[in-house]
Amino acid sequence: MASLSAMGYATNYIPCSTSFFPKKPPQFNNRRRNPVVKFTCKAKNGETSPGKFDRRDVLLGLGGLYSTSLAANPMALANPVFPDYKNCIDATQPNKTPINCCPPPVDPSRVKDFFPSATTVNIRKPAHSFEVGSDYYKKYTSAIIKMKNLSPSDPRNFRQQANVHCANCDEGYTQSGSPKLFYSVHNSWLFFPWHRWYVYFFEKICQNLIDDDTFTLPFWNWDAPEGMQIPSIYNSGLTSPLYDCFRNPEHLPPTVIDLEWSYGEKPVDPKIQIENNLSTMYKQMITQSKTPSDFFGKAYRAGDDTPDVKTTAGQIEKTPHNIMHSWTGTSDDRSNPVDLGALYSSARDPIFYAHHANIDRINFTDRDWLFTSFIFYNEEAKPVRVSIKDCLDITKLGYKYEDVPIPWLDAKPKPRAKAKTLPSAPDPAQVFPITLDKPINVIVKRPKKSGTGSSEEILVIEGIEYDRRNYVKINVYINEDDVNACRSNNTEFLGSFSNLPHGHQMTANGSTKFRISQVLEELGARDYDKVLVTLIPKSNPVKINGIKIEFEDS
Ligand code: C2O
């Protein structure tokens, strides 16, 4: 019999070793610990009336609620991107060695189109609402055990499911029709719909294996205080099928997650951390996500270069999505970021699916990419082709999310200090291009607005060049004279740029942007003709080619 690998199946399963010691991946410097911070109290009142969030409500269809009208308004897409599923190639681990993580090859003649048409709707609930040992826990663990025990060549096998993620997210495929271009479902507008379908079929497989079509996956409600640690069902002992040994040992319960975590940072006071996290959510979902492409990344069509070689992800994919990956994962005994810490291995940790259920919960939708399609193996191990347009209404997929509170709506960041004396700093032309190996300050001129239309000022950091196989994080501040005093819940901290290790050897040449009109207003700097920008590298040096401020029509 041909070996599994000769048949195109991945066989190099790395077992978790009990003698494993987390080491710091070699490519990071721990530049600094979390700043020493003082606890400041509550948000001012009057800024949290529901009316303030109309825009968010329009844009963000929590759980897809706002998406149904789009399905009725299909627009033909000239060029949907599609991977060449027939030819799966090795992915790359962050330590630069190739890894075969190809799921069983798809035979195109067997693929059937699938249109969801559920008649009952199950509710996905927060993972922290379940107890170890409960009936739900028993069902869930039994589904995962059964999945892990399926034949290694069964596409529904737990490791093969993880391989589906690896091949699609770590460039195991090239684009159909463009064999020189790698295909990827990260760092573009494919991120949300692809992961929605992926979690959907994973859930279907669970239902099928335990013969219970009411079973749902839980969501990791990391955007609410009760969900801000690894839920206990995932941490109930080394032998639990929901446990994964490649999680950062410093981040096990009761450590509170840090949605702006950088490698090497130590946990801070939980109360402060929760406040910071809520403000991070506010920043990412409200301050920085005003248009569809802010929210979920750029268009990606047939013939486009691999996402993130030229473009970047949407705000939510970077933070909190990427950060939750790096916060949860760790490195293996070869100092290789692994499991949640890198894209190729992420879905080996069962908590991945709860993480992505939460991303799915805060999904939103827009037209245009409706006709892009993907192939998955369904619960009967048959290949099915699905389109983005068919996943917009999640009730047709047979699930929705429990209506939990959204506490970050009230967590608007506050200026750390008004009326600071800003240090003088060089002009970008004197500084860039630069290899960012230490913090830098620059003074950026604000352009004059032409015309009278309403437009918004955008700070653009351009030409960010890095090896995509490396962990990357850069924190960005505006008009801040003391970054050590500045927390994630301060307005001066604009946010970060991040990369999760993935893909083949290619240099990303991305840019990242921050909306600053509202921020400058809140910092009392509306009339200044210049701003101070501080960049703090939190990873290995990254080359940056420039910074500018431009206007974007709003
Ligand atoms: Cu495809 Cu959170 O990753």
Q: Give me the chain's average pLDDT, please.
A: 84
Spacing, Cα 359 to ligand 1 middle (Å): 10
For residue 146, report the distance from its CA to the centre of ligand 1, in Å.
23
- Residue with CA closest to ligand 1 atom 1: 169
For the residues 346-369, what does the mean pLDDT come to?
83
Ligand 1 centre distance from Cα of residue 462 (Å): 25
Ligand 1 atom nearest to 347, measured from its CA: 3
Report the alpha-carbon distance of residue 471 to residue 134 in Å, rounded.
38
Radius of gyration of the chain (CA): 23
Distance CA(53)–CA(47), nearest Å, equals 10
Our answer on whether the CB atom of 502 is closer than 6 Å to any ligand 1 atom is: no
Q: What is the pLDDT of residue 3?
A: 35
Q: Report d(CA 310, CA 326) in Å as an integer.
A: 23
- Cβ atoms within 10 Å, residue 367: 15
Q: How far is the CA of 279 from the centre of ligand 1 (A)?
A: 23
Q: Any idea which of 12-26, 131-145, 498-512 has the lowest mean pLDDT?
A: 12-26
pLDDT score of 374 more than 70: yes
321 lines ligand 1 (CB under 6 A): yes
Instruction: Pick the residue whose CA is nearest to atom 3 on ligand 1.
Output: 343
Q: Percent of the chain at pLDDT above 70?
A: 84
**274 or 34, greater pLDDT:** 274
CA dihedral (322, 325, 329, 334) positive or negative: negative
Residue 2 neighbours by CB distance under 10 Å: 8
Cα 484 to ligand 1 centroid, rounded to whole Å? 31
Cα 346 to ligand 1 centre (Å): 7
Coil vs helix vs strand at 136: helix
Residue 473 near ligand 1, beta carbon < 6 Å: no
* 346 Cβ closer than 6 Å to some ligand 1 atom: yes
Atom of ligand 1 nearest to the CA of 352: 2
Q: Is 316 in the pocket of ligand 1 (CB under 6 A)?
A: no
Q: Pick the atom of ligand 1 nearest to 359's CA.
A: 2
Of ligand 1's listed atoms, the one at least distance from the Cα of 322 is: 2
Name the pLDDT band for 252 (thresholds 50, 70, 90): very high
Residues contacting 532, CB < 8 A, separation 6+? 422, 423, 425, 441, 442, 443, 444, 478, 479, 480, 481
State which ligand 1 atom lies nearest to the alpha carbon of 356.
2
Distance 287 CA to ligand 1 centre (A): 24
Q: Does position 472 have pLDDT exceeding 60, yes or no?
A: yes
| Residue 50 pLDDT greater than 60, yes or no | no
Range of weakest confidence among 32-41, 58-67, 400-409: 32-41
pLDDT reading at 400 higher than 60: yes
Closest ligand 1 atom, CA of 194? 1
Residue 195 alpha carbon, nearest atom of ligand 1: 1
For 386: left if phi > 0, alpha if psi spans -120 to 50, otherwise beta; the answer is beta
Q: Does ligand 1 have an atom closer than 6 angstroms to the CB of 128? A: no
Looking at the CA of residue 169, tell me the nearest atom of ligand 1: 1
Mean pLDDT of 494-504: 93
Atom of ligand 1 nearest to the CA of 340: 2
User: How many angstroms separate the alpha carbon of residue 500 from the centre of ligand 1?
Assistant: 9
169 close to ligand 1 (CB < 6 Angstrom) = yes
Q: What is the pLDDT of residue 368?
A: 55
Ligand 1 centre from 343 Cα, in Å? Answer: 6
* Å from CA of 341 to ligand 1 middle: 10
Does residue 156 contact residue 383 with C-beta atoms inside 8 Å? no
Whether pLDDT at 37 is above 50: no
What's the rounded mean pLDDT across residues 147-170? 96
- CA 56 to CA 478: how far, in whole Å? 24
Cα of 422 to ligand 1 centre, how many Å?
Answer: 39
Ligand 1 atom at shortest distance from the alpha carbon of 165: 1
Query: For residue 334, what pLDDT band results from cuts at 50, 70 and 90?
Result: low
Binned at pLDDT 50, 70 and 90, residue 16 comes out as low
In this predicted structure, the answer to whether residue 54 has a pLDDT above a threshold of 60 is no
> Could you tell me the pTM of the whole model?
0.86
Q: Tell me how far the alpha carbon of residue 524 lies from the centroid of ligand 1, in angstroms.
A: 38
Residue 165 Cβ contacting ligand 1 at under 6 Å: yes
pLDDT at 554: 66
Q: Which residues of 60-91 are buried (b: 16+ CB within 10 A; e: fewer)?
A: bbbbbbbbeebbeeeeebeebbbbebeebbbb
Q: Would you say the CB of residue 325 lies under 6 angstroms from ligand 1? A: yes
Mean pLDDT to the nearest integer, 429-447? 96
Q: What is the DSSP letter of 283?
A: I
Instruction: Sort 520 into a burial class: Cβ within 10 Å, 0-12 / 13-18 / 19+.
Output: buried
- Angle between helical axes of 135-149 and 158-169 (0-180°, round to 10): 80
Residue 272 alpha carbon to ligand 1 centre in Å: 28
**pLDDT value at residue 95:** 85
In one-letter notation, the amino acid at residue 526 is R
Taking CA 411 as the corner, what is the angle to CA 407 and CA 413, rounded to the nearest 5 degrees?
160
Tell me, using a 6 A CB cutoff, whether residue 186 lines ligand 1.
yes
Whether 77 shows a pLDDT value over 80: the answer reads no
Q: How far is the CA of 171 from the centre of ligand 1 (A)?
A: 13
Residue 325 alpha carbon, nearest atom of ligand 1 = 2
Say which residue, 383 or 106, is predicted with more confidence.
Answer: 383
Instruction: Answer yes or no: is pLDDT of 15 > 70.
Output: no
